[in-house]
Amino acid sequence: MNRVKIAVGVVALLAAVAIFWMNSGGADPIPDTPETSTHWMCHACKQVFTLTAAEAAREEARAGGPSPLYCPACSVKEAYRVAQCDTCGSYYFSSDVPGSLGRCEVCFPDKPRERPKDESPPSL
Ligand SMILES: [Zn+2]
Ligand SMILES: [Zn+2]
């Protein structure tokens, strides 16, 4: 009789420990759904790929920081998050990526020099 009580007590204790461990260990679980996915592009080979929030977190842990991440195509640590152009649909790096213009290079190609306001063609 006593032995049964102790066994029940141990099981209850183990269950409580397991629940506590699961709650503390898996504190806000990162979603692994398509809605959370973000676009990334490799600076080296221009491979575009998507990562869900959970995959991005895993890759960040592997890369030791938020960006750049390792490219799944060429394995070089040169993958940065990209934005998609509303006009042509191509992907481009944001301006915080080294060497990036922060805009679509198809619709807004790099100009040899800045023309601040005067967008009109030079008069002949
Ligand atoms: Zn690559
Ligand atoms: Zn564009």
Whole domain around residue 77: which residue ranges?
38-83
Model pLDDT, residue 14:
80
DSSP 3-state of 89: coil
Of the candidates 86, 41, 47, 48, the one whose C-alpha atom is nearest the C-alpha of residue 67 is: 41
pLDDT digits (tens, 9 = 90+) for 11-59: 888 888 777 776 666 567 899 999 999 999 999 999 999 999 999 999 9
Ligand whose nearest atom lies closest to the CA of 70:
1
Residue 77 resides in a domain: yes
Total domain count for the chain? Answer: 1
Residue 69 resides in a domain: yes
In sequence order, what are the residues at sequence separation of 6 or more whose Cβ sits closer than 8 angstroms to the Cβ of residue 72?
A: 47, 49, 79
Residue 123 resides in a domain: no
Q: How far is the CA of 50 from the centre of ligand 2 (A)?
A: 19
Report the Cα–Cα distance between both ends of the chain, in Å, rounded.
106
Q: How far is the CA of 104 from the centre of ligand 1 (A)?
A: 20
Residue 97 resides in a domain: no
Q: How far is the CA of 92 from the centre of ligand 2 (A)?
A: 9
pLDDT digits (tens, 9 = 90+) for 53-75: 999 999 999 999 988 999 999 99
Residue 7 resides in a domain: no
Residue 25 resides in a domain: no
Model pLDDT, residue 1:
61
Residue 68 resides in a domain: yes
Residue 89 resides in a domain: no
